Amino acid sequence: MAGNGEAPVPVGTKQEQDRKVRRGWQGPARIWEETEQQAKRLRSSEGGGQHRKLPKRKVVLLVAYSGKGYHGMQRNVGSSKFKTIEDDLVSALVRSGCIPENHGEDMRKMSFQRCARTDKGVSAAGQVVSLKVWLIDDLLEKINSHLPSHIRILGLKRVTGGFNSKNKCDARTYFYMLPTFAFAHKDHDVQDETYRLHAETLGRVNRLLACYRGTHNFHNFTSQKGPREPSARRYILDMFCEEPFVREGMEFAVIKVKGQSFMTHQIRKMVGLVVAIVKGYAPESVLERCWGEAKVDVPKAPGLGLVLEQVHFEKYNQRFGHDGLHEPLDWAREEAEVTAFKEQHIYPTIIGTERHERSMAQWLSTLPMHDFSATAHAAAGPGAKVPRPLEGSDGDSD
């Protein structure tokens, strides 16, 4: 006893238990615990253990896509009936090895967020999503290798850990591409692809589009807001129509709009009302009436020509863009790739679909059905409830 320097301890006492813990006593509970830990380590090392050693980092991806054939951007988890852009994107992220498979099943685990929820058929040249990924080698190439050609990741940048692409976005810029015969007057202009937009008509279009600038109550430009809801007030920084151009014998024009945020179908209704006025179906005074509380019948232009062109992060760039750790989110270096994608996938889809399906011509034929002279007063008065269908959106949508 004197050799080990320890006095005998009664069996079962707390002092004996403490000594067993210090010596690493292999009781049944401890043996089971260690076996379970070894099993967990073994499972983690199979098919991805190497990736787990890599740090996960918050990044943003610049995404471009042609929206034809998709039911919008946002994924509908658990529903395979309506395919979305995010279905293909998340699948490519998992298959490339930059996120684990369970993150694909629950996107919250990778802190996934998109800047804008684009509606069915709407395309994007500058969508931005934020998420946490493993920074594996050749990340963009590996993701793109699992994507169809009409969806592309054009850029990647590191961002701050708490970055959220929707909340940090200051503004969104969309463009709406349409055949110029949409502006042909119903009484004294040709109504087909031989029409060419006159300078005075373009001037009138831009004068009307300028009426949208500033802060207005846009409740008449969505089905989701009542006239007295504060969130129906939106700020439009600019809206104008560019010079027309001819593609495949048909003349097109591009309307650009930049705003802080947009509600469901807001942009398509803004375009639709201006078209109705220029064609002679609606008086210019209807624009002023739209800002009031009464319900106005505003037509909704087709979704085909709508494209999310750019999202803006001015405040984030001012604070973090030049701090020596992060890059500004301006995508200037990717501009050539964005332009090439629009030329290869977005413009041809809009032009080809318009020529074969004639979505704009068919929609124009419905304009006489709208009653622009009357105002649809809600029977229950200004406080009446407005229906809120579950639809997609032109932009970010509340």
The annotation places the binding site for substrate at: 174
Residue 287, number of CB atoms within 10 A of its CB: 19
Cβ burial, residue 322 (10 Å; 0-12/13-18/19+): exposed
Binding positions are 174
Residue 338: closest CA among 92, 177, 152, 80 = 152
Asked whether the beta carbons of 85 and 151 are under 8 A apart, the reply is yes
- Active-site residue, from 87, 88, 119, 394: 119
Could you tell me which residues come within 8 angstroms of residue 305 by beta carbon, excluding any fewer than 6 positions away? 176, 177, 178, 350, 354, 360
E-assigned strands of the chain?
A: 56-65, 113-114, 123-134, 151-158, 171-179, 214-217, 233-241, 245-247, 250-259, 306-312
Amino acid letter, 260: Q
| 18 catalytically annotated | no
Q: Pairing relation of β-strands 250-259 and 233-241?
A: antiparallel
DSSP at 136: -
Distances (CA, A) of 56 to 110, 131, 134: 9, 10, 5
Residue 339: closest CA among 197, 175, 138, 206 = 175
Could you tell me which residues come within 8 angstroms of residue 91 by beta carbon, excluding any fewer than 6 positions away? 104, 146
Catalytic residue ranges: 119
